[in-house]
Structure 1
Amino acid sequence: MALRCPDAEDARVEGPGRSLRLGPLAPGVRAVFESLADGGIHETEVPAAAGSDTTLAWYWLDLAGDGGLLSWTVEERGNLLLTLTPASASFLRHRATFDAAQPLQLSRFAHTRMAEGRAVLDCPTVHATAALHDRRVVSLLFDMARPTLLARLNQFNTGIESFTLRELVRLLAETGILVPNGLDVPASEETQTALKQWEPHDLLFHLRSRGWGHQTRAGATYRFRGELPN
């Protein structure tokens, strides 16, 4: 992500294939976005960086996040566990919706694959991918194959500290990789008619064959030109 300020009245956040016009920036908002462009900022540090502009800073952060311009990392004592990156401008993070008392499970559309030498968690329903940097996260995903409470996860020997585990589960839940379960839960995948009709591999192909479902190049890209014989 880059912050462009050609003049005082026209600040803009730019990312791969998309941008967000911020207009004139309040000092606190500028401080937050400068930190983002310079390597990132912890969510707990936003109020101190933004000062009296904290509410406005969160407003713009939510817009930038939902526009696919931000990525999120979860770390423990300086060690990366997971990096979640939006895969298209259709990405949404539903903040403040995480309920620790609600059993959650891994979306049936979620799957892991290898990319660039690392394990990646992919889920076409959320328009995002998550790079897995620590094998403990893979163990956590195994435990989330069935509806599980956060309190129950703490009883499993995940090896992840309680606060970090909560933040990790919260991120995956607010982005839809972890979902509620049950026919009596409106947000459940079991009760959403549109999703019930899809098999995971069908939905993955459907979104990948349409430009709005991902940010990778599609069509006649000739990506193997010069590598394969004519």
Structure 2
Amino acid sequence: MSQQFLLSFKADVSLIESEAKGHLVLRSPNHSLTFKQAQLGLKTALRTLADGGATLAELNQMIQQDDGELPLLRFYTHLQRFSNVGWLCHSVLDEGRAIAIAIPLTSDYQFPQIEIAVESKYRLSRFAYGHQAEGQLLLESPLSQTQVQLLDWKGAALFSLLATPQSCDQVAKAIPGISLETVKQFVKLLLGAQMVSEVGEEGTIPEQTNPALAQWEFHDLLFHSRSRQGRHANSFGGTYRFSGKIEPLPAVKSPVSAEGIELPTPDLETLKTTEASFTQVLETRKSIRKYGEIPISAQQLGEFLYRCARVKQLLQTEYGEITLRPYPSGGALYELELYPIVSNCAGIAAGLYHYQPLTHQLCRISSRTQPVELLLDDARKAMGQQAIPQVLLVIAARFQRLTWKYESMAYALMLKHVGVLYQTMYLVATAMKLAPCSLGCGNSDLFTQAIGNDYYAETSVGEFVLGSQPNT
């Protein structure tokens, strides 16, 4: 007889017994099931599932011994209901001890019934990974709706060996003291979790020959699946998990230096009547990578920054400060900061600056240091041009402005903010007849060196180049 999985309830499923009514209630954060006048065998089985678990054969014996054949058939229906709401965990046993447990992450996860071929070879998915969480080693994958917790060194050894194609027999021989049945159960568990696949005749696994999956990189698919709902059980959205533990960052970053340059403020009312229509601006927007002989001016840079990123209003809420600015931001948190690197701008000395959106000033950080020069050169190469950009706007993020409130989705939200700021910059630059160009990537470590800041507190997430339009 082949070895069976140990079945148990997830840790967040509680069993509540009402002695007066004889009822049993199973409850999780999202579901509740009530068993009225439950028979003795069913009560024993439910208590066992809630307290460590048992194999299907052992559960069958409990029901059949106390309740008989018909209640046993009903119990199979109950097990399916438990599976349907994501309560049922499966553990691999080795000498009576659990070495790995598959824990459903979603309510619609169904553990598949899979048979293992001893002669076949199996290999880990390139999307499967292990990490430590609260003292436990977890295996996860963006392909899966379950996570596997490794409870013993044998589980870690099995996981490691499957990095290369292996048959169950090969794995069993490589680990002293482990049985072939245990290896088969472990492989079956990872197959059910979509973390391993059977190797085909050509030495490939299905994800390599699937045109869609083959084009996903590991980090991209992981980021996608973890920053949207559906394939994880992490807290999600505006949870304010650090409220009362860590003070929120101020809505506006303090001036980085006492050396500030007052920027000109445009007359928006006049612009409303003299500027091109929105449709014309939208239809003529494009990236321009060449510049005029006369560089962008301080007047133009000031107007551009004012129209794109100034603080229009600073507000106090029960969860700290928020601001209103020309572009949208989730929760009005505005984590993005602008750092203009001036190479050639009439009226402003070359160097690295921080834009102060509340006072509409440029605060000087440094001259054209080596890191600053390298950032300008990176931007030149990214545009495929010979000329150094007149102004490189590095967009940085004070990440904690978002992560203090939002869970699981914060980084994805920040990238959306970079996108809407890019579009705002393009439209304003087009209306002003300037030369705009967003860049696809930049060097965050180099930027951190340039401003002398903590990479994990604030670093670059986008770059935008600005200059005067070439002579026509």
Q: TM-score range by the shorter chain?
A: 0.7 to 0.9
Q: List gaps (5 residues or longer) in structure 1.
A: none
Contact 1:181–1:189 (CA<8 Å) still a contact in 2? no
Give, as a single letter, the amino acid of the residue that structure 2 aligns with 1:64.
F
Alpha-carbon distance in structure 1 between the residues aligned to 2:147 and 2:247: 33
Secondary structure, in 3 states, of the residue corresponding to 1:131? strand
- 1:2 and 2:10 are equivalent in the alignment: no
1:110 equivalent among 109, 128, 135 = 128
Aligned match for 1:166, one of 168, 184, 189: 184
CA distance in 2, matches of 1:67, 1:195: 28
Q: Which amino acid aligns with 2:54?
A: I
Contact preservation (8 Å) 2:119, 2:167: yes
Normalising by structure 1, what TM-score? Answer: 0.81
Q: Matched residue pairs, number?
A: 229
Is residue 42 from structure 1 mapped to residue 55 from structure 2 by the alignment? Answer: yes
On the 8 A contact 2:114/2:188 being kept in 1, the answer is no
Say whether the 8 Å CA contact 1:90–1:213 is kept in structure 2.
no
Q: Alignment partner of 1:189: what SS? A: helix
Matched, 1:224 2:242: yes
- Identical columns (%): 27
Of the candidates 111, 123, 128, which is equivalent to residue 141 of structure 2? Answer: 123
- Cα offset, 1:59, TM superposition: 4.0
SS of the equivalent of 1:190 reads: helix
Q: Name the residue aligned to 1:33.
A: 46
* Contact in 1 for aligned 2:169/2:180 (Cα 8 Å): no
More moved, 167-176 vs 19-28: 19-28
Q: Deviations over 1:100-143 (max 9, x none)?
A: 34321112211011100221111221211122122222121111
Match of residue 85, structure 2, among 67, 76, 94: 67
- Quote the residue 1:15 is aligned against: 28
- What is the Cα deviation at residue 91 of structure 1? 2.0
Task: Label 1:225 to 1:93 Cα distance change in 2 as closer, same or farther (>3 A).
Answer: same
Shift in Å, 1:66:
4.4
Query: Of the two, which has the highest radius of gyration?
Result: 2
Q: Quote how far apart the aligned CAs of 1:94 are.
A: 0.5
Deviation, structure 1 residue 173 = 2.0
Q: In structure 2, the residue corresponding to 1:71 is in which secondary structure?
A: strand
Q: Deviations over 1:45-95 (max 9, x none)?
A: 122123224444334324423431122223334544122211122422101
Query: Does the aligned pair in 2 maintain the 1:183–1:191 contact within 8 Å?
Result: no
Contact 2:102–2:193 (CA under 8 A) maintained in structure 1: no
SS in 2 for 1:142: helix
The structure where strand makes up a greater share of residues is 2
Counterpart for residue 142 of structure 1: 160
- 1:200 counterpart = 2:213: no
Question: Distance in 1 between the 2:26 and 2:202 partners?
Answer: 41
What is the CA deviation profile of residues 157-204 of structure 1, one whole-angstrom value per residue up to 9, with x for unaligned ones?
A: 25423333332222222332221233779x822343443332222222
The answer as to whether partners of 2:86 and 2:107 remain within 8 angstroms in 1 is yes
Contact 2:168 2:180 in 1 (8 A): no
Change in 2 beyond 3 A, CA 1:162/1:182: closer
Q: In structure 1, what residue type is equivalent to 2:55?
A: H
> What is aligned with 2:171?
153
Deviation at 1:35, TM superposition (A): 2.2
Change (3 A) 1:55 1:152: farther
Contact 1:84 1:128 (C-alpha < 8 Å) held by counterparts: yes
Taking a change above 3 Å as real, the CA distance of residues 183 and 102 of structure 1, as seen in their structure-2 partners, is closer
Which residue of 97, 100, 103 maps to 1:85?
103
* Among 67, 71, 75, the residue aligned to 1:57: 75
Q: 146-155 or 106-115, which moves further after superposition?
A: 146-155
Q: Partners in 2 of 1:105 and 1:31 — Cα distance?
A: 39
- SS for the counterpart of 1:74 is strand
Contact 1:66–1:93 under 8 Å retained in 2: no
Give ranges in structure 2 of 5+ residues lacking alignment. Answer: 1-12, 249-472
SS of 1:58 mapped into structure 2: helix
CA distance in 2, matches of 1:65, 1:21: 16
The answer on whether the counterparts of 2:147 and 2:193 sit within 8 Å (CA) in structure 1 is: no
